[in-house]
């Protein structure tokens, strides 16, 4: 999480950080998700961010208090990742359906079959968007809390 925060403070994308640090984008993604990293990777990141290795090399990140700034940042990052995944999904939909429509119009212009994948995938995209922006009352944060409490058998 600290790596992501430092990267965003500098306005860098994961690709830019990978280029500057000499690491792969996949490695940057894993580190930002909280997976362990090799000492060499952490040294490269510490050098790029101009911080001590000990600042980046926390074995176990402490769980932030519920009302702390770190918790708010973690929630913000998680929400931004959800929105980013939705936008990527929407762009993929637009590109693939456009290609299918072109193929359909070229191969069999009298029979419009591209509507079926557009409708099916479009329904999935709609549900993804509603879920991303918390418009589905049965899959929002409140539902998640209740489900977790039910599983634990106690209040959170």
Tell me which of 156 and 30 has the higher pLDDT. Answer: 30
Angstrom distance (rounded) from CA 51 to CA 71: 23
pLDDT given for residue 59 in this prediction: 43
Nearest CA among 125, 138, 35 for reference residue 85: 125
Angstrom distance (rounded) from CA 59 to CA 81: 24
pLDDT given for residue 110 in this prediction: 95
Q: Compute how many other C-beta atoms are within 10 angstroms of the C-beta atom of residue 27.
A: 20
pLDDT given for residue 53 in this prediction: 85
Average pLDDT over residues 27-40: 88
| pLDDT band, very low/low/confident/very high, at 58 (cuts 50, 70, 90) | low
| pLDDT band, very low/low/confident/very high, at 63 (cuts 50, 70, 90) | very low
Please provide the size of the chain in residues: 156
Tell me which of 49 and 115 has the higher pLDDT. Answer: 115
Whether the predicted pLDDT of 55 surpasses 60: yes
The token duo for 117 is 């994948």
Cβ 17 vs Cβ 27: under 8 Å = no
pLDDT given for residue 65 in this prediction: 53
Nearest CA among 92, 85, 93 for reference residue 131: 85
Whether the predicted pLDDT of 60 surpasses 70: no
Whether the predicted pLDDT of 139 surpasses 70: no
Q: Write the CB contacts of 70 (distance below 8 Å, at least 6 apart in sequence).
A: 64
| Greatest mean pLDDT among 9-18, 25-34, 81-90 | 81-90
């Amino acid at each position: 999480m600290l790596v992501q925060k430092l990267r965003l403070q500098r306005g860098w994308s994961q690709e830019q950080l990978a280029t500057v640090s000499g690491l792969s984008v996949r490695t940057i993604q894993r580190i930002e998700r909280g997976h362990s990293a090799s000492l060499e990777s952490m040294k490269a990141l510490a050098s790029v961010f101009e911080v001590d290795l000990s600042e980046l090399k926390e074995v176990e990140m402490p769980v932030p208090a519920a009302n702390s700034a770190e918790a708010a940042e973690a929630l913000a990052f998680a929400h931004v990742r959800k929105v980013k995944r939705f936008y990527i999904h929407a762009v993929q939909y637009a590109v693939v359906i456009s290609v299918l429509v072109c193929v359909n119009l070229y191969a069999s212009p009298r029979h419009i079959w591209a509507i079926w994948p557009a409708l099916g995938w479009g329904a999935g995209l709609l549900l993804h968007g509603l879920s991303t922006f918390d418009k589905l009352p049965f899959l929002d944060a409140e539902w998640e809390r209740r489900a977790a409490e039910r599983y634990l058998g106690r209040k959170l």
